[in-house]
């Protein structure tokens, strides 16, 4: 009997097929569960390894042993005339059919019922009109009418706090801060803004602050009629700002005939602090944190957040802000372990005080990502999105994490980046992450188009060159890839920019130059070993013993 016929008689093929289908189902379940519990990437790899070992064992036992009425026996001990492999084969057929049915049911559920948002067109629109929700509200950035332009942080803070308080009312849909930011100083009329945001009502206002004196005006406009349905003028002391924010949220809900439950009122009236000086320090820190690329701004953010915490030690937003400051400093300026550990500690403190704090989950996700735990980061960004579905930054960060995890999730990263662009069309980093997601799917022309669009919002950004280097490298156009990798590195000498020059050197076959580049990269504290091991551009280099010595020396 031929080997093929003997493998078939012993049901080796059927056992192998059944095991592979079962293993695939286990991997799908594991992927969902591990993402939800923020398990580190290595757990999934261990499961994958165990399943691989299990496959070899299953095939071996199918070959070497046979199931008989008396139990399991070695194959050579079974009388062929009394063998029941044909019966076992029929049972395996039923089992395989059941497993395939489960797999098909899962695929149908995954594709039809949980399909991610459809991909945006190649040129995402500047604004995406949406059907207005009956009572949905958007709070436009309050204008700073103070004589001092440095008071902008305060009017921005008032806007954010009113959005936050309105969002706590269960039956009131509210556009997120990131989605309304693009309409700051906009020349569009209220009807156009409301249509773009998918809301009916728009709150606009102004803030004038002089010393401790404060004047706030606000009006709620029905975009369908153009009429004011509510308005308010406040003149008083800065100490009363918390009362103004709370009463504004409650009065808007009442003007829209929304019944406020005791839980709604308690949520609106919840204060992280009643100390106006701590609140002011927090707002100043937040304004500097938004300029995260500059070390001076990060240092100023640190000083203000720490001042806020001196005045109010259990202040969750300030703790989360300080955690994000440590993450950005580690990522862009000072990759010391103490910053990473302190950031994690601060983010966890913030979430212990308020488990639903969006900025706390984002900070924890950033800290996971910068230590290359992208699955853990994606889980935190999803938690932030669950609590604030219109947070463009959270969607963009999710796209980043999904594109960098191993194996990467290109379609998921594309959907998340498109959602970020829908919510904040001028957020240039979302175009970079969309381009990266398209690269992962081999859609290089579309990716190049997205990278070039970054220039519309941030002309001269080195991120454009970084993205183009990735596209041309994947396309095999090594000359262009080198030009753009070197240009991105000249703009910002960061490890991520350097990594693509290393990939180009390796792809060109310049082993010595590639190894020298990798050593320089690792000396800059780059530790994304999963990306290095998965990169197809380093495949030939991995056969060089010096590569393994270098990786092992820094791992």
Q: Which domain-ending residue is among 270, 291, 316? A: 270
CATH number for position 290:
1.25.40.10
Judge contact between 504 and 472, C-beta under 8 A. Answer: no
Dihedral of CA atoms 444, 447, 453, 459 in degrees, nearest 10, equals -90
Mean pLDDT of 400-422: 95
Tokens at 433, concatenated: 């992450």
Same domain, 144 and 252: yes
Q: Which domain-ending residue is among 254, 270, 286? A: 270
Same domain, 88 and 196: no
Place of tokens 């839980």: 263
Residue 222 parent element (H or E): strand 213-222
pLDDT band of residue 208 (cuts 50, 70, 90) is: very high
Residue 38 is predicted with a pLDDT of 45
Q: Work out the number of other CB atoms within 10 angstroms of the CB of residue 549.
A: 10
Closest CA to 171 of 223, 139, 136: 136
Same domain, 241 and 208: yes
Judge contact between 311 and 278, C-beta under 8 A. Answer: yes
Judge contact between 153 and 171, C-beta under 8 A. Answer: no
Closest CA to 33 of 25, 103, 371, 394: 25
Could you give the number of structural domains in the chain?
4
Locate all alpha helices (DSSP H) within 293-391, ordered by sequence. 295-311, 316-332, 337-353, 358-370, 374-387
Same domain, 464 and 508: yes
Output phi, psi for 169, to 5 deg.
-85, 120
The count of residues in the chain is 555
Judge contact between 122 and 248, C-beta under 8 A. Answer: no
Same domain, 492 and 539: yes
CATH number for position 262:
3.40.50.10070
Residue 72 is predicted with a pLDDT of 61
* Domain assignment present for 410: no
Same domain, 255 and 305: no
Same domain, 244 and 288: no
User: Average pLDDT of the chain?
Assistant: 85
Same domain, 198 and 297: no
Alpha-carbon distance of 180 to 187, in angstroms, equals: 14
Mean pLDDT of 268-292: 89
Closest CA to 483 of 468, 494, 502: 468
Tokens at 20, concatenated: 């592979």
* Domain assignment present for 252: yes
Residue 52 is predicted with a pLDDT of 83
Q: Which domain-ending residue is among 235, 270, 305? A: 270
DSSP at 405: S
Alpha-carbon distance of 466 to 432, in angstroms, equals: 9
Same domain, 301 and 262: no
Closest CA to 205 of 148, 137, 271, 253: 137
Alpha-carbon distance of 413 to 471, in angstroms, equals: 16
Residue 293 is predicted with a pLDDT of 60
* Domain assignment present for 389: no
DSSP annotation string for 266-283: HHHH--S---HHHHHHHH
Alpha-carbon distance of 14 to 59, in angstroms, equals: 9
Tokens at 355, concatenated: 């488990």
Judge contact between 414 and 404, C-beta under 8 A. Answer: no
Mean pLDDT of 464-472: 97
* Domain assignment present for 393: no
Considering only CA atoms, give the Rg of the chain: 28
Place of tokens 């060109």: 508
Same domain, 147 and 251: yes
Tokens at 537, concatenated: 């551009």
Domain that includes residue 544, residue range: 460-555
pTM here is 0.71
* Beta-carbon contacts of residue 468 (< 8 Å; ≥ 6 apart): 448, 451, 452, 480, 484
224-228, 239-243, 429-433: which is most confident: 429-433
**What is the distance in angstroms between the CA of the first residue and the CA of the last residue of the chain?**
51
Same domain, 181 and 69: no
Instruction: Please say if the pLDDT value at position 51 is more than 90.
Output: no
* 77-109: pLDDT as tens digits: 555 555 555 666 566 566 667 766 776 776 665
* Domain assignment present for 287: yes
Same domain, 98 and 164: no
Alpha-carbon distance of 180 to 138, in angstroms, equals: 7
* Beta-carbon contacts of residue 486 (< 8 Å; ≥ 6 apart): 501
* Domain assignment present for 35: yes
Name the least confident of 40-54, 222-236, 356-370: 40-54
DSSP at 530: H
Output phi, psi for 172, to 5 deg.
-120, 105
Mean pLDDT of 345-355: 96
1-5, 196-200, 337-341, 438-442: which is most confident: 438-442
Mean pLDDT of 530-534: 91
Alpha-carbon distance of 287 to 325, in angstroms, equals: 12
* Domain assignment present for 444: no
Alpha-carbon distance of 120 to 424, in angstroms, equals: 13
Closest CA to 276 of 243, 320, 325, 316: 243
* Domain assignment present for 376: no
Closest CA to 124 of 471, 468, 449: 449
CATH number for position 479:
1.25.40
Closest CA to 436 of 422, 418, 457, 459: 418
Tokens at 284, concatenated: 């100043």
pLDDT band of residue 126 (cuts 50, 70, 90) is: very low
Residue 203 is predicted with a pLDDT of 95
């Amino acid at each position: 009997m031929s080997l093929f016929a003997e493998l078939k008689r012993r049901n080796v093929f059927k056992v192998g097929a059944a095991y592979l289908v079962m293993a695939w189902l286990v991997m799908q379940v594991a992927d969902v569960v591990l993402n939800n519990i923020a398990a580190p990437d290595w757990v999934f790899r261990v499961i994958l390894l165990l399943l691989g070992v299990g496959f070899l064992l299953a095939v071996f036992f199918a070959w070497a042993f046979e199931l008989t009425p008396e139990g399991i026996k070695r194959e050579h001990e079974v009388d062929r005339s009394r063998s029941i492999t044909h019966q076992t084969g029929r049972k395996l057929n039923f089992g395989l059919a059941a497993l395939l049915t489960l797999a098909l049911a899962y695929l149908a559920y995954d594709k039809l019922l949980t399909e991610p948002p459809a991909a945006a067109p190649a040129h995402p629109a500047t604004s995406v009109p949406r059907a207005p929700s009956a009572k949905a509200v958007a709070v436009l950035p309050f204008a700073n009418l103070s004589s001092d332009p440095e008071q902008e942080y305060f009017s921005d803070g008032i806007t954010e706090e009113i959005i936050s308080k309105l969002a706590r009312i269960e039956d009131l849909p509210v556009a997120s801060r990131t989605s309304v930011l693009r309409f700051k100083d906009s020349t569009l009329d209220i009807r156009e803004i409301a249509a773009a945001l998918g809301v009916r009502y728009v709150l606009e206002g102004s803030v004038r602050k002089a010393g401790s004196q404060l004047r706030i005006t606000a009006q709620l406009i029905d975009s369908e009629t153009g009429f004011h349905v509510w308005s308010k003028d406040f003149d008083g002391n800065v100490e009363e700002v918390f009362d103004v924010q709370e009463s504004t949220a409650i009065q808007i809900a009442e003007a829209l005939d929304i019944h406020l439950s005791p839980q709604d009122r308690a949520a609106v009236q919840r204060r992280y602090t009643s100390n106006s000086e701590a609140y002011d320090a927090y707002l100043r820190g937040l304004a500097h944190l938004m300029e995260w690329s500059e070390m001076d701004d990060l240092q100023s953010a640190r000083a203000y957040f720490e001042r806020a915490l001196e005045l109010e030690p259990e202040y969750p937003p300030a703790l989360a802000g300080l955690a994000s400051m440590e993450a950005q400093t580690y990522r862009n300026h000072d990759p010391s372990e103490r910053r990473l550990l302190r950031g994690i500690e601060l983010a966890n403190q913030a979430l212990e005080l308020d488990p639903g704090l969006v900025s706390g989950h984002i900070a924890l996700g950033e800290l996971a990502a910068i230590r290359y735990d992208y699955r853990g980061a994606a889980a935190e960004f999803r938690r932030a999105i669950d609590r604030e579905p219109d947070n463009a930054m959270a969607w963009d960060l999710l796209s980043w994490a999904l594109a960098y995890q191993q194996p990467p999730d290109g379609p998921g990263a594309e959907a998340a980046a498109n959602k970020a662009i829908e919510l904040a069309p001028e957020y240039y980093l979302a175009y970079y992450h969309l381009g990266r997601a398209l690269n992962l799917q081999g859609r290089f022309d579309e990716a190049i188009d997205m990278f070039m669009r970054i220039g519309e919002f941030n002309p001269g950004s080195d991120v454009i060159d970084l993205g183009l280097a990735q596209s041309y490298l994947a396309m095999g156009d090594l000359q262009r890839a080198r030009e753009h990798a070197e240009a991105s590195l000249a703009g910002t000498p960061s490890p991520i920019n350097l990594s693509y020059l290393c990939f180009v050197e390796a792809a060109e076959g310049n082993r010595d130059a590639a190894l020298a580049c990798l050593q320089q990269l690792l000396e800059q504290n780059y530790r994304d070993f999963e990306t290095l091991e998965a990169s197809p551009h380093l495949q030939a280099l991995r056969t060089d013993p010096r590569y393994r010595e270098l990786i092992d020396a820094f791992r």
